Amino acid sequence: MMYALSTDVSHAKENADIYDAKLIEFEGFEDVTFHDPGIDYQRQRGAPGVIEFVGNLESIAGRDHLLPAPLGWLLISRRMVHVLEAVRPFRHRLIPTVIYSERIGHLVRKGYPRKRTWYSVTDPAMKNEDFVILQLLEQTDCLDRERTLVKGVPFHQCGEELLGYDDAEPLVLRPPPGGFPPVFSVPELVFYCYTGEARQACEQAGLKGLWWHPQP
């Protein structure tokens, strides 16, 4: 069984803002996805050495998978990275982050777009540096285009280029030589895939904030 993974937002109150961390915007952030394995976004796209956010530090304490704004970045704890690496080595890059407390949000970002000010945060209680953005450095070309069906039609005939959660039934992946890494990117899928072994390891480690989506 393969899984997609999203953030468990059950902690959010009704009608509350569900985002755990909001980006402090930087020049060109719209073009920074950390999804293309062939791009070093810090060297080639001008992304900062450390990606900065503002968030509720009390809410994220003890959690391992966060929902950032903008969407799309895989923002996870360093602890979760270690758990995945222990399952099986995989090629990746870690982009460091810092999340500042909402209580000083007005001091660290101003203007439109909301860019970083020169305010220096020295109080460790006002920031969290336990999370990283995970960028995978290779894709796994493993989709079986004939046996993967979209509304009963083989993928290569259905007219779609990309698939989201549960778009395919079934989703059929061909194991690469040596087996799947614990987390991997498939060119035709808009989400990362995780193996059953990776899920089991995360659950045994007691990681929090993970919502697993079995892929049929």
Residue that terminates a domain, selected from 136, 157, 178: 136
Q: Express each pLDDT in 174-185 by its tens digit.
A: 999 999 999 999
Percent of the chain with pLDDT over 90: 85
Tell me the pTM. 0.92
- Which residue range forms the structural domain that includes residue 195? 149-215
Q: Are residues 129 and 105 in the same domain?
A: yes
123/203 same-domain check: no
- Spell out where 8-143 has E strands: 21-23, 51-55, 65-66, 68-69, 75-77, 92-101, 109-110, 115-116, 127-128, 131-136
Rounded to whole angstroms, the Cα distance separating 32 from 42 reads: 9
- Which residues make Cβ contacts (< 8 Å) with residue 93, sequence separation at least 6? 40, 134, 135, 137
**18 and 93 co-located in one domain:** yes
Q: At which residue do the structure tokens 């360093």 appear?
A: 78
Please say if the pLDDT value at position 16 is more than 70.
no
Asked whether residue 34 falls in the same domain as residue 55, the answer is: yes
- The answer to whether residue 141 sits within a structural domain is no
Quick one: 178 and 209 in the same domain?
Answer: yes
- Going from the C-alpha of 58 to that of each of 23, 69, 70, the distances in angstroms are 18, 18, 21
Question: What pLDDT shows up at residue 207?
Answer: 98
Residue 162: what pLDDT? 93
Q: In total, how many domains does the chain have?
A: 2
23: how many CB neighbours lie within 10 A of its CB?
20
Is 159 part of any domain? yes
Is 3 a domain residue? Answer: no
How many secondary structure helices (H) and strands (E) does the chain include? 6, 16
- In degrees rounded to 5, what are phi and psi of residue 59? -70, -35
Assess whether 172 and 132 both reside in one domain.
no
